[in-house]
Structure 1
């Protein structure tokens, strides 16, 4: 496997993780101000933003959990 393919695979993995994190942020129960801030961080600082979001971001409580 050439080095070029490894970078492509890593970029695809990062892209999928970013899309998953954005989905979780949009479905979270937080206010739009915090959602907007996390989205800006995730979009404009992808790798570092993903790490910071994983450590300090919105919790896993989803909107559907509020109904219970």
Structure 2
């Protein structure tokens, strides 16, 4: 049961990360800022997503 929950949680995080990356790319931020946000989200999937949600380009 733990493995199934972990897999589901991983899929949810992956889906949210992909959604966040698309939102970053579509934002009006500069190219440099977009690249930094995407790298942050890719390198730190959970923490990067939380930081982007709190402080990212609106």
| TM-score by shorter chain over 0.5 | yes
- Counterpart-to-counterpart distance in 2, 1:3 and 1:39: 30
TM-score by length of 2: 0.97
Structure that is richer in helix per residue: 2
Aligned to 1:28: 27
TM-score by length of 1: 0.83
- Counterpart-to-counterpart distance in 2, 1:35 and 1:29: 9
C-alpha displacement of 1:52? 0.3
Q: Which has the larger radius of gyration?
A: 1
